Structure 1
């Protein structure tokens, strides 16, 4: 299994004006390399239809409304599933989650996102965007293995990072994270976006 991680919103704890009120991580699950290639083929064909430049990426925040809808329609046809976890930062003040830093937030939300598919995780290769440096990525890898792996069945085999610009599957995770983040925020176009991929989202957790 392959798992692709990306986020939407700011993992920092600031809640003043200008800061994102919600932080969402999406985990996109594909069964194997063949399923990933089939999804990549769809994305590649869409890129050709849109006449995108070689290193132009799909990025929900930067894409137009029309492009977002086209991407989501293609993702609905892909053999994949997604689970998400969203943190409502305003409620942290009264919660007992014990999150005191940006890294704490990312560790906790990533774990919850993967737990949404924990029953099917087996020897998974996790690929994340370049959040944090290598030291943090090692910390996240250890954190996920500690909480998800068992002696009988390792859920997570490895964790590596990949640049979103050059990895379309990380861009897919960006889309799922952004769609759910907007749904939590209640933006006016969120229902249209969410409806297109709701069948692909097997778990959607909100903290606290």
Structure 2
């Protein structure tokens, strides 16, 4: 089993100065290596790729690219689980002031509340943060997630990994659905709906 993780939004709390009001972490679950390879090929040969040559990022993609991207993968063999954090419910001063702890906490929460879906998974996370943080996060995931769920945790540069980019696009689609100022808020989450296993709003 392979699991790819990325986020949408940021860990900042100065929403009135540009921080995102919502933070979303999404994991894309593949039961087999072959399924992951198939989806990688789907992305790289999709009409979206002909329009968009660089890294797929939800926040930087045009609407037509998003449409073609999700149309290409909507029937593929993967599942998406996400945790949605409305920042105004967070009272912990530690989480509000320490961005690395904030990120680590919610990645672990998502992996721990997996409804038994994870089984001996190799987890691949977008490789942001310095080396020390990545090592700490990897160790914490393997220690704090239930026995048998995760066998390995590694990091990958999203620029060169279409499956990390898929996780970014999925996280972005879920995050957009919580925007109250956009008429198209649910447009891409609706396209992704056949692949959504769970979207958990943290309280």
| Worse-superposed segment, 109-118 or 195-204 | 109-118
> Which residue is equivalent to 2:55?
57
Is the Cα–Cα contact under 8 Å of residues 95 and 102 in structure 2 kept in the other structure? yes
Matching residue of 1:29: 29
Q: Deviations over 1:157-177 (max 9, x none)?
A: 111111111000000000111
Counterpart-to-counterpart distance in 1, 2:111 and 2:202:
14
> TM-score when scaled to structure 1?
0.88
Q: Superposition pairs for residues 39-50 of structure 1, below 5 Å? A: 39-46=39-46, 50=50
Which of the residues 127, 130, 133 maps onto 1:133? 130
SS at match of 1:119: coil
Whether the 8 Å contact between 1:15 and 1:21 is mirrored in structure 2 is yes
**Correspondence for 1:79 among 77, 82, 87:** 77
**Structure 1 pair 97–205 and aligned structure 2 pair: CA distance change class (3 A):** farther
What is the deviation of 1:98? 5.4
For residues 133-163 of structure 1, what are the alpha-carbon distances to aligned partners after superposition, in whole Å with 9 as ceiling and x for unaligned?
Answer: 221122212222222232xxx2111111111
Structure 1 residues not aligned, in runs of 5+:
none
CA shift, 1:52, in A, is 4.7
What is the CA–CA distance in structure 1 between the aligned matches of 2:102 and 2:48, rounded to whole Å?
A: 38
Unmatched runs of 5 consecutive residues or more in structure 2? none
The question of 1:163 aligning with 2:157 is answered: yes
Q: Distance in 2 between matches of 1:12 and 1:48?
A: 31
CA-based RMSD of the aligned residues comes to 1.9
Give the TM-score, by structure 2 length.
0.90
Paired residues, number = 201
Q: Deviations over 1:56-79 (max 9, x none)?
A: 121111111011011011121210
What residue number does 1:2 align with? 2
